[in-house]
Amino acid sequence: MILEIVVLIILTVVILPLILVSMHKTVEIANNLKTVYKANKSFRKSIRNTTLIIMPFKINNRVYNFIIDTGASMSMINECIIDELKKETIKGKPAYGIDGEYKETKATMLNLEYDGKQYSCMFNVQNVTPFIKNVKEETGVDVAGLIGNNFMMQHKCCIDFSNQKIMF
C-alpha cells in the first residue's frame, strides 16, 4: 500500500508536470506553424516580408517595371498594359494566377528592351491589378508584371542578388 502511494506521489509530482510542459510546447509549436502558414499562404500577403528584385524594361519606348520572380514558371503582364499597348492576345495554357487559382489565360509575345538590347518572350496576360496595387503600397514602385523562368531560361539570365538585377 505504501509503495502504491509513493508511486502515485512520484507520478503526480514529477511525471505529470513533465507531460503538461510537453503538451504546452506542442501546442505552442502548432500555433507557430499556423502563423507561418497563414503568413505565407498568399504572395500578396507575404510580400511585406520579402525583398523584391524589380527591373525596368522598355516596351515600345515606354519604361515598365517587372518583378523578377524565380517562382513563376511563366512571365506575366497586367492585361491593362496589353490594352494600353494595343497588343493582340491568343489563348494561353491554363496556369495558376497570382491569386493561387488555376484558370484559363491569354498570352502575347512581347519585345522588351533592356540596356539597349532586345529580348522577346511569351507572357501570360492576367488582371493582376490588386497585386500591383499592393506592390505599389509596399515599395512605391508601379509594376507591370513578372519576369518568370521562361524568360530567364530563354535568355540565359543570371540573378545578381547583391545588385538586385538579372544579367544576360
How confident is the model over 53-90, as pLDDT tens digits?
A: 999 999 999 999 999 999 999 999 999 999 999 999 99
Q: Which residues pair with 120 in a beta bridge?
A: 111
Q: What is the pLDDT of residue 35?
A: 46
Q: Give the pLDDT score at 126.
A: 92
Residue 123 to residue 105: CA distance in whole angstroms: 10
Least confident of 3-12, 14-23, 73-82, 84-93: 14-23
Closest-CA residue to 73 (of 31, 38, 124, 117): 124
pLDDT for the residue numbered 11: 57
Give me the mean pLDDT over the 15-32 stretch.
54
- Nearest alpha-carbon partner for 97 in 72, 80, 122: 72
